[in-house]
Structure 1
Amino acid sequence: MSVRLVGFTVAALDAEGVGATELCAVLGVSQPVDWPPPFSDRDVRHWFRAQLLADPALAPWLGSHVIAPIDCADTVVGTAGYKGPPDAAGRVDIGYALITSYRRRGIGTQVVRMLATQAFADARVSRIVAETPGDFVASRGLLEKSGFQLSGWRTDPEDGTLAVYVLERG
């Protein structure tokens, strides 16, 4: 299965704000069974949009729409990306969310590995951090299968208890 990451654009984010049909028209892909995936709400879209408008050069360090072949048609199945460029210590944070109907197909594993490969292609990156709700057992397993190690836990006022995973440059 060939999964692609299509970087967010202002046009795609604006279309997504109208609806899935408009997003798919901009991306030139088939419409998923439902939209949006978890953690992809209006506030998240607006944050990414503001980042792109403030500094278009940040685009490689922001979000993407996940496109995967579903029933022989390229379909938008989720979002993934970075929360910004590497910091002074070489850390970058990743995030990903797939529509429930498209989980357990290997898409998430491919996405996480793609994000890690892209990040480590930049010599500044020495550590990748991913956080997932503690009760998201499948997400935790995906990160572990992708080489991430559980480094601890933290409590977020909105998302509750999060498992913090780290992948160090090898």
Structure 2
Amino acid sequence: MTDRKDRQLMTLPEQMIRVELLNSRIRRTNAIYARFYGPLCLLVISLTFFPYYESEPGSSTQYGNLWQEVFRLGPGVDLLALLLLLLAALLLAVAAVGRLSTSGLIAILVAATVTGSTLLQSPGFVEPPPFTDVGVFDIVISFTTAALALGHAVHLIVLELAFHRRGV
């Protein structure tokens, strides 16, 4: 009976060392990915100040940036897009300091994918106007952000699975 307790006491420091090693690897991984999230956050916010759609010459319809469209049209798809984009930017800012869990990364993935898909589908238009260069760039940035968050989340999941596979 005492042998078993002695073995359990001996393995406790070993388990603590393994947990600390896992935490260290997770912190290093988060630090590596955090280098990308800060610039992405600034880019996502700054792109909202440019128009996504080209206004046709001589047309009475002039398209503005996302902020102008929200104030001009009121509640609707544009407001939802703006709120989703601001949520993604907030989560990117938190990820930039390395303090986001896997569930937060999945939230970035979903927000970025929905933002890119919404822009790509151009809801509210029967015949969508052509995108500006900024509109195309924003679609690419949205899907790139989603891919980065997915890669980061998978990396963290693999680290945790490898840790649990070896036994705690």
Structure-2-length-normalised TM-score: 0.27
Bigger fraction of residues in helix: 2
In terms of Rg, which structure is larger? 2
RCO comparison, higher one (Cα < 8 Å, 6+): 2
